[in-house]
């Protein structure tokens, strides 16, 4: 019997609703497999923890996380309790950085039966590779003066190392998929970082002669995600561009409630982290209607990552067919609860195995 030791952080808001049901499904999959078990260690870190302890996680929290194989996280943030820059930099971004989860991998895929805002959603299926350690997300800057002369400077950091590994990851992924990579740029308006990004895209691209490679300005690219999403295979972008593109991706998929993500530690030295794209959704917390699909699909990505592609496919099919059959939460145009959706997925898992 192989035991997989997973750190679990439900976090805030609907994270506490969609994480436990996803763990139940992972346990069902372990039973179906017969040769594995999951050992989940839960950490109660988040905004409530901050109110009680004055920090988002204990001093040795990151070291504790590093002892585990992977991290499964819900959502962080409750602006009624803690300002976002404190809660997010204190927990989510801290984990991504300290565990060197340098790539954020976010699939965008059409699932039949969703109510996409697109008139003809087609069969789009692309992957966004987001740089996850630097870029526009920096603590370098400051504020000067006050009143009408007040100035704030926010620096962005682009290192050759990080840009290169992100683009290389995207190109390698495109080779395994449909041979096309699109780089998000803005070199017409941003004079240092984006020409640097483009230069490295061109350099790395030379190692991938068979790939179809294109650069698109982030503004035009955002529009193309809406007008012709099926033309994309792999999209690679900086931290902020990747963040924004994946909310657009989530929107065309039908709801931010279904979009998943994997924060990858490339060397396997520290745990990777699996979490949905959405946040803590304070407007629906406690109503029992949070869409569990983004969290469950993130569990699917974790199964792929730890080497169980068959279980991952089983989970994906059960999840997608549940949506297609019309059993879905209100954000997707349905009227089912979180629990009803999970029960149906569970039923399908058992029927398919």
Residues that bind ligand IPM (CB under 6 A): 77, 88, 92-93, 243, 277, 279
Determine which residue in the list 92, 299, 312, 341 makes contact with ligand NAD, applying CB under 6 A.
92
Identify which of residues 238 and 329 has a Cβ nearer to ligand NAD in the complex.
Answer: 329
Identify which of residues 184 and 277 has a Cβ nearer to ligand IPM in the complex.
Answer: 277
Determine which residue in the list 10, 90, 107, 257 makes contact with ligand NAD, applying CB under 6 A.
257
Determine the distance from the C-alpha atom of residue 262 to the mean position of all C-alpha atoms in its chain, rounded to a whole number. Answer: 5
88 touching ligand NAD, by CB under 6 A: yes
Identify which of residues 79 and 324 has a Cβ nearer to ligand IPM in the complex.
Answer: 79
250 touching ligand NAD, by CB under 6 A: no
Structure tokens at 291: 């869409």
CB atoms within 10 A of CB 196: 16
Could you tell me whether strands 234-237 and 260-264 are parallel, antiparallel, or unpaired per DSSP bridges? Answer: unpaired
Identify which of residues 267 and 283 has a Cβ nearer to ligand NAD in the complex.
Answer: 283
Determine which residue in the list 17, 78, 131, 243 makes contact with Mn ion, applying CB under 5 A.
243
Supply the minimum distance, in Å, between the C-beta of residue 189 and ligand NAD.
Answer: 26
Supply the minimum distance, in Å, between the C-beta of residue 18 and ligand NAD.
Answer: 6
Q: Give dist(CA 321, CA 305) in Å, integer.
A: 22
CB atoms within 10 A of CB 95: 27
Supply the minimum distance, in Å, between the C-beta of residue 78 and Mn ion.
Answer: 16
CA distances from 169 to 14, 134, 234, 254, 311 (A): 32, 16, 10, 27, 24
Q: Give dist(CA 86, CA 31) in Å, integer.
A: 40
Q: Give dist(CA 54, CA 46) in Å, integer.
A: 11
CB atoms within 10 A of CB 123: 10
Interface map 67-86 toward ligand NAD (x if CB under 6 A)? --------xxxxx----x--
Binding site residues, Mn ion, CB under 5 A: 243
């Amino acid at each position: 019997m192989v035991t997989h030791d997973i750190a679990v952080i439900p976090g805030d808001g609907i994270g506490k609703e969609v994480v436990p049901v996803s763990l139940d499904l992972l346990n069902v999959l372990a039973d179906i497999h017969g040769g594995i078990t999951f050992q989940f260690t839960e950490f109660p870190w988040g905004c409530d923890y901050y109110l009680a302890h004055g920090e988002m996680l204990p001093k040795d929290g990151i070291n504790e996380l590093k002892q585990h194989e992977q991290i499964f996280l819900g959502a962080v943030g409750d602006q009624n309790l803690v300002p976002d820059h404190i809660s997010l930099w204190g927990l989510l971004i801290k984990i991504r950085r300290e565990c060197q989860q340098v790539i954020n991998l976010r699939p965008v895929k059409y699932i039949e039966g969703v109510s996409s805002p697109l008139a003809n959603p087609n069969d789009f299926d692309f992957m966004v590779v987001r740089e996850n350690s630097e870029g526009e997300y920096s603590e370098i800057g400051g504020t000067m003066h006050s009143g009408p002369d007040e100035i704030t400077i926010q620096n962005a950091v682009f290192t050759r190392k990080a840009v290169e590994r992100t683009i290389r990851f995207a190109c390698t992924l495109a080779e395994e998929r449909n041979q096309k990579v699109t780089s998000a740029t803005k070199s017409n308006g941003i004079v240092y970082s984006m020409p640097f990004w483009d230069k490295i895209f061109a350099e790395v691209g030379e190692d991938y002669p068979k790939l179809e490679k294109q650069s698109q300005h982030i503004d035009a690219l955002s529009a193309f995600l809406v007008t012709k999403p099926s033309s994309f295979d792999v999209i690679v972008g900086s931290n902020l561009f990747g963040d924004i593109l994946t909310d657009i991706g989530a929107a065309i998929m039908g709801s931010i409630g279904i979009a998943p993500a994997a924060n990858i530690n490339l060397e396997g030295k520290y745990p990777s982290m699996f979490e949905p794209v959405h946040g803590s959704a304070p407007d629906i917390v406690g109503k029992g209607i949070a869409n569990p699909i983004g969290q469950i699909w993130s569990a699917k990505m974790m199964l792929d990552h730890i080497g169980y592609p068959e279980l991952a496919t089983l989970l994906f099919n059960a999840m997608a067919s549940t949506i297609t059959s019309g059993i879905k939460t209100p954000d997707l145009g349905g009227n089912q609860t979180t629990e009803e959706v999970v029960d149906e997925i569970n039923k399908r898992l058992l029927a398919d195995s």
